[in-house]
Amino acid sequence: MLQFYTSLADRLYVHRWWFGGTTAAVFVLLLFLVLTRTAEMPIVALSVPLIAVSWGLLCMCVWFHPTSGRLYSGPLFNRLPRILKTAIRWYGAVFLTLWFVFGVLVWPAFVLFGDRLIAAPGLRGTKSDIEAAMVLNAWIVAGYTPSPMPPLTRRLAE
């Protein structure tokens, strides 16, 4: 796994600024859409993987480049024992792998199908409890405070 990330970082290192710019541009666009309340769930579901991939590739280039990578050079890193250097590199490789899997597979599935997963039978909370919590959250966001609190809302608040 380390060899894979190192060879890929060696080839993609020249594009690291593009990865950073893509990440920043998509993040700013998504932030704008969320703040103007025009973001649809498919847009969020597709933009987060783009951020995850571009940020992950940027981290891979910065960490694993054979000569300029932070996990291969640097005054502090060169003073560490070899076993500790290897452990830190493996930790970075495992982290990046989990980052890509979560960002590309888990997050979009959660965004697109999360309401079905939460309201699935056998899980804690019923669909009406979840709907009541969503209504309460909408009230709070809008600045309204429900008075008096219904028993279900009181139970959720406790």
Predicted structure pTM score: 0.67
70-110: per-residue pLDDT in tens?
888 878 888 899 999 899 999 999 999 999 999 998 888 87
Residues 84 and 128 in one domain: no
Q: Give the residue numbers spanning the domain of 27.
A: 2-118
Residues 106 and 128 in one domain: no
- Looking at the structure of the chain, the number of domains it has is 2
Residues 84 and 103 in one domain: yes
| Cα–Cα dist 112/150, whole Å | 30
CA end-to-end span of the chain, whole Å?
Answer: 47
Q: What is the percentage of the chain residues whose pLDDT exceeds 90?
A: 27
133-147: per-residue pLDDT in tens?
666 666 565 555 555
Both tokens assigned to 17: 């600024």
Residue 69: pLDDT band with limits 50, 70, 90:
confident
Q: What is the DSSP string of 38-77?
A: ---HHHHHHHHHHHHHHHHHHHHHHHH-TTT-TTT--HHH
